[in-house]
Structure 1
Amino acid sequence: MYSAEVDVKANLQKILDSSLDVICTIDAATKFVTVSGAAKKVWGYGPDELVGCSLLSIVADEDYECTLNSIKQIKKDFSKNTCENRIYKKDGSIACIAWTVHWDSEDQLMYCVARSTDNKRKVEDLLVESEEQLRFAQKLARMGSWHIDLITNKVKWSEGLYEVYGVDKEKCQNPTPELFISLIHLDDLTMCLDEVEKMKKAGKSDHTHRLIRPIDGKIIYVRHLSHEIRNEHGEMVAFTGITQDVTEQKETEINLLLSEQKFKSMVQNGSDIITILDQQGNFKYVSPTSLRIAGYEPKELVGRNVFQMMHPDDVPHMIEKFAEVVENRNDHIPTEHRFMAKNGDWIWLESHGIDLTSESNIGGIVINARNVTERKKLQEALAQAQKKRQRAITSAVIKAQESERSQLGQELHDNVNQVLTTVKLYNEMLFDGIGDPKDILQKSIHHLQSCINEIRSISKRLSAPTLGKITLEESINELIESINLTRRLQITSAITGLERKMVQQDFHLTVYRIIQEQLNNIIKHAEAGNVSVIIENTPQEFFLQIEDDGKGFDVKARRKGIGITNMETRTENMHGKMEIISSPGKSCKLIARFPPVQEK
């Protein structure tokens, strides 16, 4: 941590030394604390001449009051960070200055960038550059600012805050309070909401919590310094503040707490097992929570090797993750593995670690392990349920295929075979000279045509529509025509919104099979004479209705068959919903609704 701070300070000092603007820090009493070398060139004062002096001592008399008011306003409202005034240069001349200021309530310092604005046409550009330098400084310090308007609920983030939070600015131009809440680590959410309530009473807040960066999934610590803004009526109208990534500092604090009694107390009463391992994976320290979670007294584990306690299937992967921690290549993402409890059961732990071997008061690799056995059981139960559902679907498909084959055999035997047998008898009569030859031939031709129609109907039912060649409307009309030829049903159709549209093949086949399956069900079970098929394709939805005038059935009392299950599965796969409305003696109506159809 110390070296990181030194690097940041060194980088900031380079900015101070190289900038053509005067960059300085001013304390709460308006006295200069630090001043960049540019003050000598721009104002004529050397840094040593200004340090310890009040800013107000060089402000032009006419601007004294407005400068003082600007300072008060900046301290009160973090969103007010720019102002202008005039100062006396060392040679007695007056310089117009544009200030960009950030007030740090913790340090009680104003971080300032001052630029001469004698040429008014350049004022806007100068302020932009000053703010850019401030943004760069914030980036080095991993800091950003924010403002929430409670009246409009609008949120403003600085560029630095997008980087700290790991949120893509291009995809999130208008951040919301809900977005920020979604980033907060679940374990810290209640605390953060409590801090908001405290701020409403105290007017300010300073707290640290964890959040999860969407861009890489990393958990970081951030510190918030926030302040409320009230209107002239005393009503709170906004929150404003700064946020800094303090992960390095926080991790160092946590690591140091390992050697303190305060942390030991937390370890003893926590919900996780905290251990210290040497570089070979041997336990050097085990928290007392091991008894509650795994059934071991800490002394039973100290000296044993952690990999001997793991499930053999998990050991290779965990050795690899352990090596990453030792080599400081770990991404701090927890790893799940199985651990042998004292009673012989395997429990699931979610572990992550950090190498603190170089810390003399720790001298090992700190591992934090949480029991996630119940969560894994729920995940496994869900996976088994999904497998069971998939097996049921597969079984239904197989049964449907067998049923189709059985039905095909029955139809060939009962219809085609009987017709051909009749034709054979007519031919034998003709051969034996029995009856009128012309009458016999006409009857034979009639029966052969009936046989051809039956075979064509069976073929249509078994074959998928020629999706690449015809539209959905055309394939449905062909299906209806083939069934009408058998004279088993009289089917009418009303199709709108599909005029010559070529839809996606999977959707085409889904609708075709649902209509085909329901018409087959009507033929086999409904004892119906007439059927209507209605299709309406609108910008809001694709609507399908198939209604017959058959005997109907009790939907609740009747167990779903393979055909209905298949139709429901096909509908769900296309993100649609299907329902069947029927009752004994009152026909049957199938309704399916899908999202608007997409053309190829």
Structure 2
Amino acid sequence: MFEAFNPVHILVIEDRIEDFILFKDKLHNANIPIQEIHHEFYLEKGLEALKQKEFDLIFLDLSLPDSFGVETIEKISKLAKHSSIIVLSGSTDSVLAIKTIKHGAQDYLIKDEFDEFVLSKTIRYSIERKKILRNVEENHDRYQSILKLTSDTIWDWDLRTNEFVWNEGLSTVFKYPQFRDNFHFDWFIEQINIKDRKRVLELIASKKEECEMHWEDEFHFTNANGEDVLVYARGYILMDEDDPYRMLCIMMDISERRKLQQELLNHQLKTQQLITKTVIETQESERKKLGLELHDNINQILATAKLWLDIVMNEDEFREDYLKKSFVNIDKAIEEIRKLSKSLVPPSLGDIGLEEALKELLSYVHSSVTSFHLEYNPDTINTLRNELNLVLYRIIQEQVQNILKHANASDAYIKIAIKGDMLELIVQDNGVGFCLKEKSNGLGLMSINSRVQMANGSFQIDTAPNEGCLMKIEIPITKS
């Protein structure tokens, strides 16, 4: 019994009216639910009917006044993509029948050799074949669309037939022409570098033997230009119960990515080396300045005081005068030591906060040449964490010393602001400026930059000869 389905729309293209009438009777006797039977004598008229509407079934004679043979089925199948096509022919040529199937027909009936029962079965089978074919075509189109969405190279290896298929990535990534007969699995293995080949083969074999579905590896692969590129491959094995029957693999050229990773690693290493070098040089510079300050200033003051005390011990005539001078010098030495201590470890940071520490710093470096102007918001500056206060203080201290030593500026402005989760520091002067390319490796700037990098901040400086200098620093407020 014919399975129930919706009434069908049928197109019959047959140039002999008597054949059409006989065929129409068989259709009705076949107990088929029919919505419409549309008849045309010419292929051209049939094509026009297809352009107007869609038919479920097309019965086609291959010998028409305006078309003949396989050419007829080719023309109709191009337009009737969703219709089941059944050929009606007076020819018993099996070669012709096979050709029509290859060109889009679902079945081939010889006139006067079928009855309503055969016709019913043919229609049922043809409709089901067309449904299956449409599903296959849709899946294939979907598969091809997915492949086009990726720039990766994908290959598909049928383990039972040894058929090996590549996508367009073989051409776009590895420069090989996409369609060639020798792109089989053995060819793929031959392109793997000899140092990696054995390992890859053993890996794939072990995954097949152990029925593991996933595998991945990195190896060197030769492209069409003869270049050895680094490849990352990720494979998936399809199983029929415990029998592997198909393997899919995605290959990516990671040569450039690995090169960039290595460059980044080298850059990070150089940056760390530069920071370490700067810290060491800064420490040595601080020690040198401390030594000079102790030797050339404080030591001379104390030596003079000691000399006057020696005189007092041996002579009474100038006792009172030399004692006063010694007292003044010792008091001066104490003050110099106090200043030196504050420049090394500012106690006010831990006691009264960054605000007072900066005020003290600028009062100690008061210069008749340069006037320093400090701008900040007291409500926010005193809420910063202690380690950030020290970083900020040292950076300002270093830049203030740079301005006093080199800028010959009349005014300098220090601005501290908080924008979102970033601390912004701007130090600007109207001094002589300098050529950044020539002095970018100066110890002062390197010291500032190393402190900023250790705080995960950013450092910018804008200067030129006779145009002053602007330094801008941004540091995250929260801990990283």
- TM-score norm. by structure 2 comes to 0.53
- TM-score norm. by structure 1 comes to 0.44
Structure 2 distance, partners of 1:27, 1:222, is: 37
- Does residue 430 (structure 1) correspond to residue 312 (structure 2)? The answer is yes
Structure 2 distance, partners of 1:386, 1:477, is: 37
Q: Check whether the contact 1:581–1:590 (CA below 8 A) recurs between aligned residues.
A: yes
Structure 2 distance, partners of 1:547, 1:338, is: 54
Structure 2 distance, partners of 1:534, 1:209, is: 61
Q: Check whether the contact 2:237–2:248 (CA below 8 A) recurs between aligned residues.
A: yes
Q: AA paired with 1:515? A: I
- Does residue 579 (structure 1) correspond to residue 468 (structure 2)? The answer is no
> Partner residue of 2:326?
444
- Does residue 288 (structure 1) correspond to residue 187 (structure 2)? The answer is yes
> Partner residue of 2:27?
none
Structure 2 distance, partners of 1:596, 1:308, is: 49
State the secondary structure of the residue aligned to 1:288: helix
- Does residue 415 (structure 1) correspond to residue 304 (structure 2)? The answer is no
Q: Check whether the contact 2:236–2:249 (CA below 8 A) recurs between aligned residues.
A: yes
Structure 2 distance, partners of 1:366, 1:459, is: 71
Deviations 1:157-212 (A, max 9, x none): xxxxxxxxxxxxxxxxxxxxxxxxxxxxxxxxxxxxxxxxxxxxxxx99952699x
- Does residue 535 (structure 1) correspond to residue 416 (structure 2)? The answer is yes
Q: 1:526 to 1:223 in 2, by over 3 A?
A: closer
Structure 2 distance, partners of 1:596, 1:370, is: 37
Q: AA paired with 2:165? A: F
Matched ranges for 1:295-334 at <5 A: 309-310=198-199, 327=210, 334=216
Deviations 1:433-475 (A, max 9, x none): 3764444333333322332232223223333667565433233
The structure with the largest helix share of the pair is 2
Q: AA paired with 1:408? A: L
> Partner residue of 2:165?
263
> Partner residue of 1:404?
286
Q: Check whether the contact 1:555–1:582 (CA below 8 A) recurs between aligned residues.
A: yes
Structure 1 distance, partners of 2:7, 2:395, is: 77
Q: 1:566 aligns with which of 447, 452, 457?
A: 447
Q: Check whether the contact 2:278–2:447 (CA below 8 A) recurs between aligned residues.
A: yes
> Partner residue of 1:544?
425
> Partner residue of 1:472?
354
Structure 1 distance, partners of 2:388, 2:290, is: 26
Q: AA paired with 2:375? A: I
Q: 1:462 to 1:354 in 2, by over 3 A?
A: same
Q: Which runs of 5+ in 2 are unaligned?
A: 9-31, 34-80, 84-137, 176-183
Q: Check whether the contact 1:495–1:535 (CA below 8 A) recurs between aligned residues.
A: yes
- Does residue 509 (structure 1) correspond to residue 390 (structure 2)? The answer is yes
- Does residue 376 (structure 1) correspond to residue 258 (structure 2)? The answer is yes
Q: 1:270 to 1:347 in 2, by over 3 A?
A: closer
Q: Check whether the contact 1:268–1:289 (CA below 8 A) recurs between aligned residues.
A: no
Matched ranges for 1:60-459 at <5 A: 207-208=141-142, 254=156, 256=158, 259=161, 263=165, 286-289=185-188, 293-294=191-192, 309-310=198-199, 327=210, 334-337=216-219, 348-356=230-238, 369-433=251-315, 436-459=318-341
- Does residue 592 (structure 1) correspond to residue 472 (structure 2)? The answer is yes
State the secondary structure of the residue aligned to 1:208: helix
State the secondary structure of the residue aligned to 1:263: strand
Structure 2 distance, partners of 1:560, 1:272, is: 44
Q: Check whether the contact 1:259–1:362 (CA below 8 A) recurs between aligned residues.
A: no
State the secondary structure of the residue aligned to 2:384: coil
Structure 2 distance, partners of 1:364, 1:406, is: 73
Q: 1:325 to 1:26 in 2, by over 3 A?
A: same
Matched ranges for 1:479-518 at <5 A: 479-484=361-366, 492-499=372-379, 501-518=382-399
Q: AA paired with 2:374? A: A
Structure 2 distance, partners of 1:324, 1:461, is: 68
Q: Which has the larger radius of gyration?
A: 2
Shift of 1:561: 0.7
Structure 2 distance, partners of 1:26, 1:504, is: 78
Q: 1:363 to 1:474 in 2, by over 3 A?
A: same
Q: Check whether the contact 1:321–1:330 (CA below 8 A) recurs between aligned residues.
A: no
Structure 1 distance, partners of 2:241, 2:139, is: 33
Q: 1:260 to 1:383 in 2, by over 3 A?
A: same
Q: Which runs of 5+ in 1 are unaligned?
A: 1-24, 30-51, 54-105, 109-203, 212-220, 225-250, 274-284, 297-305
Q: AA paired with 2:235? A: G
Shift of 1:27: 6.5
Deviations 1:136-167 (A, max 9, x none): xxxxxxxxxxxxxxxxxxxxxxxxxxxxxxxx
Structure 1 distance, partners of 2:476, 2:243, is: 66
Structure 2 distance, partners of 1:546, 1:265, is: 59
Structure 2 distance, partners of 1:398, 1:330, is: 55
Shift of 1:424: 1.4
Q: Check whether the contact 1:353–1:366 (CA below 8 A) recurs between aligned residues.
A: yes
Shift of 1:423: 1.3
State the secondary structure of the residue aligned to 2:235: strand
State the secondary structure of the residue aligned to 1:441: helix
Q: Check whether the contact 1:579–1:591 (CA below 8 A) recurs between aligned residues.
A: yes
State the secondary structure of the residue aligned to 2:439: coil
Structure 2 distance, partners of 1:290, 1:206, is: 27
Root-mean-square deviation (CA, aligned residues, Å) is: 5.3
Shift of 1:514: 0.8
Structure 1 distance, partners of 2:5, 2:474, is: 66
Q: Check whether the contact 2:422–2:474 (CA below 8 A) recurs between aligned residues.
A: yes
Q: 1:580 to 1:560 in 2, by over 3 A?
A: farther
Q: 1:511 to 1:320 in 2, by over 3 A?
A: farther
> Partner residue of 1:460?
342
State the secondary structure of the residue aligned to 2:165: helix
| Pairs aligned (count) | 338
Structure 2 distance, partners of 1:551, 1:266, is: 62
Deviations 1:48-89 (A, max 9, x none): xxxx99xxxxxxxxxxxxxxxxxxxxxxxxxxxxxxxxxxxx
Q: Check whether the contact 1:497–1:538 (CA below 8 A) recurs between aligned residues.
A: no
Structure 1 distance, partners of 2:321, 2:266, is: 67
- Does residue 521 (structure 1) correspond to residue 380 (structure 2)? The answer is no
Q: AA paired with 1:208? A: R
Q: Check whether the contact 2:159–2:245 (CA below 8 A) recurs between aligned residues.
A: no
Shift of 1:394: 1.7
Deviations 1:201-249 (A, max 9, x none): xxx99952699xxxxxxxxx6999xxxxxxxxxxxxxxxxxxxxxxxxx
